[in-house]
Structure 1
Amino acid sequence: MLHVLTVSYTGSEEEAAPFVRDHVGYLERHHADGLFLVSGQTVPSSQGGAIVAYGVDRETIERISAEDPFVVNGVATHSITTIEPGRVHPALAELLAATEASRD
């Protein structure tokens, strides 16, 4: 399963600022384990950010989403859209297959 997590600030960017270091650590940890494929700020950044995750079920991504320091500290929420990939660009298909193989 592929998941798109939309990260929305509940207040201002300034209110989230004290938690950025821990949030970045959260992102780095999940990029390193292969779960997060892409993450970044929205444009404009004052809206929040987005994460593309792959390889876990909905229940697991909901649990992981709830562990984001931004969410834990009440400065952001995550909206999760789950996608069952149908048609996939060949380059992305290779990445998804490699990610899946690394988990086996």
Structure 2
Amino acid sequence: MFVLELTYTAPLDAVDALLADHVAWLEEQYDQGIFLASGRKNPRDGGVIIAVAADRARIEEVIAGDPFTVGGVCAYRVVEFAATKAVPELARYRQPSA
């Protein structure tokens, strides 16, 4: 499982100019089962995405297609973790503890 932290690297007007394309891209990732949750940070200086994929390389590939990445308005920080506990709705993503 992955936590993707987006930090805006451009003014909000540049971010907002790409927002509709970014939201469409988010929907594609939800449809593919890669993204589980997402939203803006407060204050609005970026966002957070909870994602699942076979490996970090796949996540990096997905991130590269984000219109925010292509447009150069954000930087990503990727944190991979083993979800050893989860609410029942996320139980299928749990990993056994070592």
What is the TM-score of this pair, normalised by structure 2?
Answer: 0.87
Q: CA deviation at 1:67?
A: 1.1
Which consecutive aligned stretches of 4+ in structure 1 deviate over 3 angstroms post-superposition?
none
What is the distance in 2 between the residues matched to 1:85 and 1:55? 13
Matched, 1:13 2:1: no
What is the distance in 2 between the residues matched to 1:37 and 1:30? 9
Paired position in structure 1 for 2:75 = 77
What is the distance in 1 between the residues matched to 2:19 and 2:89? 31
In the TM superposition, 1:59-78 aligns within 5 A as: 59-78=57-76
List alignment gaps of at least 5 residues for structure 2: none
Matched residues, number: 94
Paired position in structure 2 for 1:4 = 3
RMSD between superposed Cα atoms in Å: 1.5
Paired position in structure 2 for 1:102 = none
Q: CA deviation at 1:10?
A: 0.2
Provide the identity percentage.
35
What is the distance in 2 between the residues matched to 1:33 and 1:59? 16
Matched, 1:56 2:21: no
Greater percentage in helix? 1
What is the distance in 2 between the residues matched to 1:33 and 1:88? 21
Aligned partner of residue 44 in structure 1, secondary structure? coil
Q: Deviations over 1:18-60 (max 9, x none)?
A: 1111101110000111110001101112x11011001321011
List alignment gaps of at least 5 residues for structure 1: 98-104
Aligned partner of residue 83 in structure 2, secondary structure? coil
What is the TM-score of this pair, normalised by structure 1?
Answer: 0.82
